[in-house]
């Protein structure tokens, strides 16, 4: 797929649609394709090799799913190979010789536009630890604004006590089905749930 073909396919999508690059943590040599998909905000790098995953693969992330376009790359290495054989050894030798160059996200962006900088959201994702359950730090100005408004209301609930507000945000809350507000503040639907609960608490309405 050429850059021109990629741009033409992206043109038909809403301008605010997130574009996620699959496989860049593990390296790839070429763009294989792209498709719209419902994905989750979370990944488990040990199980899923750092890839974005379709939401139906997870049972408890309905509020953390969003629509995006995934760009799929052809892998440039053999990370999951367990037992080397003739084929894998040859491939690794080629990789060492520079024939299987791994393209990083920085390089991909640079190829599209030498003046382009990697967005801060993707820097945060790329710098995340390679194991465990991590938050994909992808957001936009509207989501940031909603999150800020929600936190201001939480802070007001605790009379400006930031320490108490932060503790509540990171705690499991009964009125949120024992989920943490920090988890829900990562999606518009979750933010609305948190703000609704905060409003009820302010007015003494049982939850």
- Phi then psi for residue 153, to 5 deg, are -70, -35
**Which residue would you say has higher pLDDT here, 160 or 109?**
160
Q: How many Å apart are CA 104 and CA 126, to the nearest integer?
A: 10
- pLDDT level of residue 143 (50, 70, 90 thresholds): confident
Q: How many Å apart are CA 137 and CA 184, to the nearest integer?
A: 14
Q: Which two tokens stand for residue 153?
A: 């209301």
- Asked whether residue 132 carries a pLDDT value surpassing 50, the answer given is no
CB 64 within 8 A of CB 41: yes
* Least confident interval from 45-54, 64-73, 106-115, 153-162: 45-54
| Rg, C-alpha atoms of the chain | 21
Predicted pLDDT of residue 194:
95
Which residue do the tokens 């995340």 mark? 128
Predicted pLDDT of residue 44:
44
Summary mean pLDDT of the chain: 64
Q: Which two tokens stand for residue 102?
A: 């791994």
**Which residue would you say has higher pLDDT here, 149 or 88?**
149
Q: Where are the domains of the chain?
A: 3-135, 141-202
Q: How many Å apart are CA 79 and CA 154, to the nearest integer?
A: 44
pTM: 0.35
């Amino acid at each position: 797929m050429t850059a021109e073909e990629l741009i033409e396919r992206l043109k038909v999508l809403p301008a605010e649609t997130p574009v996620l690059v699959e496989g860049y943590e593990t390296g790839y040599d070429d763009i294989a394709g792209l498709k719209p998909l419902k994905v989750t905000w979370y990944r488990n790098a040990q199980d899923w090799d750092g890839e974005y995953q379709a939401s139906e693969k997870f049972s408890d992330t309905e509020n953390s799913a969003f629509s995006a376009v995934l760009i799929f790359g052809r892998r440039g290495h053999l990370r999951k190979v367990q037992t080397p054989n003739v084929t894998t050894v040859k491939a690794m030798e080629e990789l060492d010789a520079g024939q299987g160059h791994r393209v990083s996200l920085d390089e991909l962006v640079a190829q599209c536009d030498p003046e382009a900088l990697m967005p801060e959201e993707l820097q945060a994702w790329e710098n995340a630890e390679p194991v465990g359950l991590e938050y994909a730090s992808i957001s936009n100005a509207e989501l940031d604004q909603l999150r800020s408004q929600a936190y201001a209301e939480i802070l007001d609930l605790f009379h400006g006590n930031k320490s108490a507000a932060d503790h509540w945000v990171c705690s499991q809350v009964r009125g949120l089905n024992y989920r943490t507000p920090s988890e829900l503040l990562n999606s518009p639907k979750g933010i609305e749930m948190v703000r609704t609960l905060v409003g009820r608490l302010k007015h003494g309405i049982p939850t």
